[in-house]
Amino acid sequence: MNLSNILVSIVAIAVAISVHEFGHAYAAHLLGDDTAKMYGRMTLDPAKHIDPIGLITMLIFRIGWAKPVPVNPNNFKNYKVGNVLVSLAGAIGNILAAIVCVIVMKYVKMEAIYTIASMTMVYNIWFAAFNLLPVPPLDGWGIVSSFIPYKYNEIIYKYERMSYPILLILIFTGLYGIIVSPIRDVIWNIVTLFY
């Protein structure tokens, strides 16, 4: 990977992370929880969201992380609905950002802009798809767990305790790609409708 590719990737990752985390923060704000806003996280400023180590691993291994947005679901009028909407908001933000990138690619013919928009679109699609995996602490688990009856709390707790080893196994064996690919393909098809 040459320097220009690294710089384009950093821009693309910064946009994808910022949009994703802002989505969570803004959705929580709309639903009555201003925790993220109080911590200065309801912003598109990448500096507020990027974890340096997460960024480096993303550049090297294509898998990384951001600083999670603090959310207190106890402030929602409806805990389950709020949890689902806030969990979905990050992925929705990434999909909307990818659509904007596709529109830019369609109408702006400058090579540099096209390259940045193209890479940013790809990262946003992958962010949305990966975060929808139903594995803690990813957003997909926030969605799925909202629908699991309270009587299964003990099973949920055990699963959540095992989540990091499960996630690491999925990542380092490449199995996550098999699960993510169908989600990514659906998002890709939605985004490319605008090209």
pLDDT digits (tens, 9 = 90+) for 49-78: 999 998 888 888 878 889 999 999 999 999
For residue 66, the 8-state DSSP code is B
Rounded to two decimals, the pTM is 0.92
Let me know: does 24 contact 36? Beta carbons within 8 Å: yes
Exactly one of 21, 111, 154, 160 is catalytic; which is it? 21
* Integer angstrom CA distances of residue 111 from 105, 117, 191: 9, 10, 21
C-alpha dihedral, 68 to 140 to 129 to 161, nearest 10°: 70
- 111 carries an active-site annotation: no
Let me know: does 5 contact 112? Beta carbons within 8 Å: no
- Give the residues across from 66 on adjacent strands: 50
Rg of the chain taking only CA atoms, in angstroms: 17
Q: At what angle do helices 111-131 and 175-191 cross, to 10 degrees?
A: 120
- Report, as an integer, the average pLDDT of 153-167: 84
CB atoms within 10 A of CB 6: 11
pLDDT at 129 over 90: yes
Question: Among 69, 70, 45, 46, which Cα is nearest to 58's?
Answer: 46
Determine the pLDDT at residue 1: 66
